[in-house]
Amino acid sequence: MKLADLHGDLFAPLEDALARVRPAIELAEVAHVLSVGNGIAEVVGFTDLRADELLTFSGGVMGIASNLSEHRAGVIVLGATSRLRPGDPVRRTGRVVDVPVGAGLIGRVVDALGRPIDGGSPIDAERFLPIEQPSPPIMHRAPVQVPLQTGIKAIDAGIPIGRGQRELILGDRQTGKTAIAVDAILNQRDSGVLSIYCAIGQRASAVVRVIQSLREGGAMERTIVVVASGEDAPGLQFVAPYAATSMAEHFMAAGRDVLIVYDDLTRHARAYRELSLLLRRPPGREAYPGDIFYIHSRLLERATQLREEYGGGSLTALPVVETQAQNISAFIPTNLISITDGQIYLSPGLFEKGHLPAIDIGTSVSRVGGKVQLPAFRAVAGNLRLMYAQFEELETFARFGTQLDAETRRRLTRGLRVREVLKQREHDHVDVPEQIAALLAATEGLFDDLEPGAVAGAERTVCAAVRANLPDLCDRITEGAKLGDEDRAALIKTLREALSGAEAGTGNGNA
């Protein structure tokens, strides 16, 4: 065999393979990284780039085009910047940041981009929605009229929340803000309300405790948890609440009621301040950028109650904000107070005294008010805030040691019993008929002869008696029936008999 024939036999397969290969031309706009900072990058080389466009770096890291100028662009990096180097290629995607939505997310723990972080299977998304969407027009909105029961007596009686409302939870650190939000989620077990818990800048251990509470309470199967922890990039912390809201809006458009908790927006504002300073934007008050109000207003304005012709769903927002040294007039708290429809203020003083939940009824307010309370609830607790405020004023006056008349002593005695009724343990949810029974017993003076320490036991007695002896009335109250004079008299009679029976039993036991 000749040498030329041997070479031909050796290279024939290679020639055949090369003949089958056709070079593919990929059209893409590519720039390169000029510099990298903590959470941001500066890129050059794009001739056309849109604001908030999604970019991809090498290694799969993504970013959002933020600061656009003629020759360069500042990019918020949605991931670790430690893997980026100057000179790395950057590509346009032609789309904005979007997240998966749909029933496949229910019961899952995901990051700010909708990627699962619970070790489960990939998310089965129905579709993808941009994280930034316009809020519903005013003509698409319906009045807030349906109550969202939290199971917390102080809130449902004094600061009622309606479906579609935005109610701020604020207070100093370690006063129980997250506990109230989690209790509101846990209490939706029979209401059909879907819940989303969005953790922003929290410690991983704190998020794990919340997830554990949801699992133990049987709420995880109707909850989505979106996590951008304090260890994540500031860009992920910034986009997390918008991503969670898009997930909620998908269900709202389908006619479902959704409750979303942002825990917390103080850390969200700090993450945005960090990014803005790194992007060299002009600082304003407390070094926050000029649009700090806008980032929260455009988020919370997406919460609403839709009219029936536009789906009829609702999105209720419970944003959490942390105060320092009880200063509710600080920059971020006042911004959020002006945006929301009321606030629940947690007092460190009440917390230290053991009054849990530490809700300051005098400082807290719901701008929707009694419109969202059930009629029976409104009949019993309509003047609760006024009565409690008068009691607190009398209590302060009585500390001066002046001689008090009989009427003042009676008000102080009753106010102390009402305060005991408003105390509640964490995860101890009370249904509406039982709340009405306890509050009616306190305001009618049925607990006046008891020591404050015995009120909790008496409350359990009257709640059990109402549920056992008046089941039809309980069902009618839950369905929205008014509490007539006959119903009120029957309720008070049942409460008196239950307390008398309990006292008689206690007396026989002591004998």
DSSP per residue over 367-418, as a string? SSGGGGS-HHHHHHHTTHHHHHHHHHHHHHHHTT-----HHHHHHHHHHHHH
Please count the residues of the chain. Answer: 511
Pull the structure tokens for residue 355: 């009054």
CATH number at residue 89: 2.40.30.20
Rounded CA-CA distance 188/475 in Å is: 17
Last residue of a domain, one of 96, 116, 131: 96
Total structural domains in the chain? 3
- DSSP helix/strand/coil, 70: coil
Catalytic-labelled residue, pool 367, 409, 410, 460: 367
Shared domain check, 107 and 148: yes
8 A C-beta contact, residue 97 and residue 87 = no
Task: Show the beta-strand stretches assigned E in 275-383.
Answer: 314-322, 342-346, 365-366
Q: Quick one: how far is CA 378 from the chain centroid?
A: 26
Q: Is residue 509 in some structural domain? A: no
pLDDT given at position 291? 94
Q: Omega into 357 within 30° of 0, i.e. cis? A: yes
Q: Do 72 and 170 share a structural domain?
A: no
Q: Could you give the count of Cα atoms lying within 13 Å of 162 in the half-sphere of its Cβ?
A: 22
User: In this predicted structure, what is the pLDDT of residue 408?
Assistant: 86
Q: Is 57 strand, coil or helix?
A: strand
**CATH assignment at residue 187:** 3.40.50.300
- Helix, strand, coil content of the chain in percent (nearest 5): 45, 20, 35
From the CB of residue 356, how many other CB atoms can be counted at a distance below 10 Å?
A: 18
3-state secondary structure at position 354: coil
Cα 98 to Cα 128, 129, 243, 281: the distances in Å are 6, 5, 8, 25
Spans of the chain, pLDDT less than 70: 1-11, 14, 17-18, 21-28, 401-402, 504-511
Contact 402, 346 (CB under 8 A): no
Q: Is residue 154 part of a domain?
A: yes
Give the pLDDT of residue 26: 55
Please say which residue of 96, 120, 145 terminates a domain: 96
Other CB atoms within 10 A of residue 86 CB: 11
Is the CB of residue 300 less than 8 Å from the CB of residue 241?
no
In a domain, 18, yes or no: no
Domain boundary among 343, 372, 401: 372
- The C-alpha atoms of residue 18 and residue 57 are separated, in whole angstroms, by 32
Q: Compute how many other C-beta atoms are within 10 angstroms of the C-beta atom of residue 254.
A: 14
- 205 Cβ contact partners less than 8 Å away, ≥ 6 residues apart: none
In a domain, 11, yes or no: no
Residue 20 lies in a domain: no
Note whether 181 and 298 are same-domain residues: yes
In a domain, 242, yes or no: yes
Contact call for residues 311 and 292 (beta carbons, < 8 A): no
Q: Do 76 and 130 have their domain in common?
A: no
pLDDT of residue 23: 62
In this structure, the strands spanning 223-228 and 194-200 are parallel
Q: Is residue 478 part of a domain?
A: yes
In a domain, 39, yes or no: yes
Are residue 356 and residue 442 in the same domain, yes or no? no
Q: Are residues 255 and 326 in the same domain?
A: yes
Residue owning tokens 């249904």: 431
CA distance 366 to 152: 15
226 shares a domain with 289: yes
- In the numeric block, which tokens belong to residue 299? 């988020």
Q: Apex CA 7: angle with CA 5 and CA 9, to 5°?
A: 70
Instruction: Output the pLDDT for position 511.
Output: 37
* Same-domain status, 125 and 84: no
Closest Cα partner for 39 from 315, 340, 273, 374?
A: 273
pLDDT digits (tens, 9 = 90+) for 327-376: 999 999 999 999 999 999 999 999 999 999 999 998 999 998 788 999 99
How much is the pTM? 0.91
CATH number of the domain within which 416 lies: 1.20.150.20
Same domain flag for 53 and 117 = no
Measured in whole angstroms, the distance separating CA 317 from the mean position of its chain's CA atoms is 6
> Same domain, yes or no, for 288 and 144?
yes
Residue 427: give the domain boundaries: 379-504
N-to-C CA span, the chain = 121
Specify whether 222 is located in the same domain as 293: yes
Selection from 476, 340, 372 nearest residue 158 by Cα: 372
Give the model's pLDDT for residue 504.
66
3-state secondary structure of 99: strand
Together in a domain, 293 and 393: no
pLDDT in tens, 279-301: 999 999 999 999 999 999 999 99
| Residue 367 annotated among the catalytic residues of the structure | yes
